[in-house]
Amino acid sequence: MRNHHQFYINGQWVEPAGNARLDVINPATEAVAGSIAMGGAADVERAVAAARAAFPSFSLTTREERLDLLARIGAAYKARFKDMAEAICEEMGAPFKALASTGQVGSGLAHFNMAATALKDFTFETARGSTLIVREPIGVCGLITPWNWPANQMACKIAPALAAGCTMVLKPSELAPFSAVILAEILHAAGVPAGVFNLVNGDGPGVGAPLSSHPDVDMMSFTGSTRAGKLVMQAAADTVKKVALELGGKSANILLDDADFAKMVKVGVLTLLTNSGQNCNAPSRMLVPENRLDEVEAIAAATLARVVVGDPLADGTTMGPLANAAQFRRVQELIATGIAEGAKVVAGGPGRPEGIERGFYTRPTIFSRVTPEMTISREEIFGPVLSILTYKDEDDAIRIANDTVYGLSGYVSSADLGRARAVARRLRTGNVHLNGAQLDLAGPFGGYKQSGLGREWGAFGIEEFLEVKAIIGYGE
């Protein structure tokens, strides 16, 4: 049992102000895996005060000092790699070998390394005539991270904030908090100065709201649902602080008529199923030419048949459970809605996979004959559910792809790279993958429309944690 009933504040583990506790559930077994203390406004106050006190000195550290700190964090992270993977497997169900110990934990380390790479050549000062343009740390930052990619989402905020010279208070998801405790131990072992990083566990109303509204917090960086992101913005409004948001998505995967369908349909299905479909940038809408629909259905169904759903600790498992009970209920409800609204079930359907009676496992499901007006085509499902839609021509595909309140990611496949590039330029989304290209951690990650504000990763992530100052007459 993992029981963590203290918070990390001002360089040490301290007792919370209250006595509230929350059981953490293993989604593979539905058994209690441990518990955490649940913080409140008094804990937030203490953590923010520590971050505020640490800011004047840490903000003046040199580039070289921060690079050395990031290097020490990377070394300490590597030493706890297996611990992090075991925690993530247990808290949110990622298959240990196929995902938790590779993509999940590996992405966290990659963000610390990428922040260091970006920091080496980052330009903090630029002269324009007699004016010096200075980019300096914004101050105390509140960080709120989700349960679907715990190490990744914590690292892609903490690493650039440290690189920029900011101090911070982290509220991880209360549904997947174990990895955050280990990360706090990593940062402590690496010698992060007291008060620079602080951890308070809790839920949105108890910790997220007082953190977002706190007058001594200069910036909020939030990753999660669009609904919750709006609440962060509202709470932050009275103090007019900067808010960076990475929110939901309903990304289109356009297969143009000259694409390699045998390859790219398979890639699209498997990309969607990564992390049990719990990815904000998942290619959840596959757009295909009307005359290729039967072929696409057959390839998609054959691909799905090779997916192994089961125990995250088993060697052959490629897809684990959904991360929590609420997400399981939501996905089941939306699968039922898709059926009720007339979509064709190509594979999968309601309920758990055959032979599984316990755990938040769901059958990976492919719907076809989906129309743009259907609920499963418009709402973010955040699960292993693919909607296949048809288009008449290229313009129609682009229109359907852009007909959404979201704009986080997009995917385009074509034998003609120039054609794929042209379509990508017309998509209203923060990033576009051409012909199955993987994510680039040096590039910006973030969305248009209700998918968020601002950008993360690499140099773009560092920029988010900086203010811009003009010192006029500096060169006279």
Domain residue ranges in the chain? 2-247+451-471, 252-441
> Three-state secondary structure along the chain?
CEEECCEEECCEEECCCCCCEEEEECCCCCCEEEEEECCCHHHHHHHHHHHHHHHHHHCCCCHHHHHHHHHHHHHHHHHCHHHHHHHHHHHHCCCHHHHHHHHHHHHHHHHHHHHHHHHHCCCCEEEECCEEEEEEECCEEEEECCCCCHHHHHHHHHHHHHHHCCEEEEECCCCCCHHHHHHHHHHHHCCCCCCCEEECCCCHHHHHHHHHHCCCCCEEEEECCHHHHHHHHHHHHCCCCEEEEECCCCCEEEECCCCCHHHHHHHHHHHHHHHHHCCCCCCCEEEEEHHHHHHHHHHHHHHHHCCCECCCCCCCCCECCCCCHHHHHHHHHHHHHHHHCCCEEEECCCCCCCCCCCCCCCCCEEEECCCCCCHHHHCCCCCCEEEEEEECCHHHHHHHHHCCCCCCEEEEECCCHHHHHHHHHHCCCCEEEECCCCCCCCCCECCCHHHEECCECHHHHHHHCEEEEEECCCCC
User: Would you tell me how many other CB atoms lie within 10 Å of the CB of residue 36?
Assistant: 25
**262 closest CA partner among 308, 289, 286, 295:** 295
Instruction: Give the model's pLDDT for residue 475.
Output: 87
Instruction: Give the model's pLDDT for residue 37.
Output: 98
Instruction: Give the model's pLDDT for residue 396.
Output: 98
The class that CATH gives domain 252-441 is alpha beta
Inter-residue contact 191 to 69 (CB < 8 Å)? yes
DSSP, collapsed to helix, strand or coil, labels residue 361 as coil
Instruction: Give the model's pLDDT for residue 176.
Output: 98
Instruction: Give the model's pLDDT for residue 380.
Output: 98
Q: Which of 86, 174, 246, 380 is catalytic?
A: 246
Instruction: Give the model's pLDDT for residue 173.
Output: 98
Q: Is 246 a catalytic residue?
A: yes
User: What's the start-to-end Cα distance of the chain, in Å?
Assistant: 65
The CATH code for residues 2-247+451-471 is: 3.40.605.10
Instruction: Give the model's pLDDT for residue 304.
Output: 96
Q: How many residues does the chain have?
A: 476
Instruction: Give the model's pLDDT for residue 105.
Output: 98
Per-residue pLDDT tens, the chain, 476 aa: give them. 999 999 999 999 999 999 999 999 999 999 999 999 999 999 999 999 999 999 999 999 999 999 999 999 999 999 999 999 999 999 999 999 999 999 999 999 999 999 999 999 999 999 999 999 999 999 999 999 999 999 999 999 999 999 999 999 999 999 999 999 999 999 999 999 999 999 999 999 999 999 999 999 999 999 999 999 999 999 999 999 999 999 999 999 999 999 999 999 999 999 999 999 999 999 999 999 999 999 999 999 999 999 999 999 999 999 999 999 999 999 999 999 999 999 999 999 999 999 999 999 999 999 999 999 999 999 999 999 999 999 999 999 999 999 999 999 999 999 999 999 999 999 999 999 999 999 999 999 999 999 999 999 999 999 999 999 999 999 87
